[in-house]
Amino acid sequence: MKEKIYTIPINDAFSQDCECPLCTLEKQQENDSISFMLSPALMEPDKRIDTNEKGFCRRHFGMLYNARENVLGVSLIIETHIQIQMEKLNKLITGSRKGIEADAGMNALKNLAGSVTKPATTTNKFIDSAVSFLDELDARCEICERIERIMERYADVTIWMYFKDPAFMEKVKSGKGFCLPHYKLLLKTAKEQLSPKQCAVFVNDLNDLMTSNMNRILEDVQWFSQKFDYRNKEASWENSKDAIPRSIEKLTSYGNFK
Ligand SMILES: [Zn+2]
Ligand SMILES: [Zn+2]
């Protein structure tokens, strides 16, 4: 038996009328993660080891700040994160300082030749290591990584329930499908988790669901555009009034729409 902590929220999310039930679950997880980060727990220095190391992406730093809760906690998270990361960056900077200064004083002939060949100067080596350090820092986010782990689990349990519970299978099939990022997640999970035959059955069903619902959303967007034609001014909006946020969600997962 798969854990109820997963099956209950999955059943709830799939009972809602939405463009992607996995987006509903992810949004809950994101909000929970933000609340956890803002809780008193992270006021303790030893609880901030992960956030010191990873920090947050632009979206999640923004959400932490915009919550306007536990502002001191957010300040402490940022403070120790900067300290830890600057320690690493300073090591790279001071380790290369002399070499960069020497490069800055190189003679004209060597400089001219180097403009063409891009030699392995200390400066270029420093740039490469600083860029890879910054790339790595950029790619990490405590909240994104937490959500990713949980969403993998949700995808896993969703597929398990699909074959275990006929009522759930019906619910999925009569739903509106998934956004493209969660379609991708389900495809990857199916390949990992299912036998070849079961995987084919699932992928077939999923593809039918996705093509018919992507067509539906396309028609909604098309009608939205056509409503700008004066001849359609008096015609009904049908389902197109919110076609833009729904289609963006379908393409990229949920966002912050006003
Ligand atoms: Zn989604
Ligand atoms: Zn993030």
For 136-172, write each residue's pLDDT tens digit: 999 999 999 999 999 999 999 999 999 999 999 999 9
Q: What is the pTM of this model?
A: 0.90
Distance 23 CA to ligand 1 centre (A): 4
Ligand nearest to C-alpha 19: 1
Cα-to-chain-centroid distance, residue 217: 22
- Residues near ligand 1 ion, CB 5 Å cutoff: 20, 22-23, 179, 182, 253
In the Cβ-directed half-sphere of 89, how many Cα atoms lie within 13 Å? 16
Nearest-angstrom CA–CA distance, 87 and 170: 55
Ligand nearest to the CA of 59: 2
Q: How far is the CA of 236 from the centre of ligand 1 (A)?
A: 28
Burial category of 248 from C-beta neighbours within 10 Å (exposed 0-12, middle 13-18, buried 19 and up): middle
Helix locations, 105-195, DSSP H: 108-117, 122-139, 142-164, 166-173, 180-193
Query: Crossing angle for the helix pair 166-173 and 4-15, nearest 10 degrees?
Result: 40
Q: How far is the CA of 41 from the centre of ligand 1 (A)?
A: 30
Q: What is the pLDDT along the chain (258 residues), one digit of tens a residue?
A: 557 889 999 999 999 999 999 999 999 999 999 999 999 888 888 889 999 999 999 999 999 999 999 999 999 999 999 999 999 999 999 999 999 999 999 888 888 888 888 888 999 999 999 999 999 999 999 999 999 999 999 999 999 999 999 999 999 999 999 999 999 999 999 999 999 999 999 999 999 999 999 999 999 999 999 999 999 999 999 989 999 999 999 999 998 888
Angle between helices 4-15 and 142-164 (to 10 degrees): 80
Domain ranges of the chain: 21-143, 151-252
What's the gap in Å between 91 CA and the centre of ligand 2? 26
Distance 58 CA to ligand 2 centre (A): 7
Q: Give 62 Cα–ligand 2 centroid separation in angstroms.
A: 10
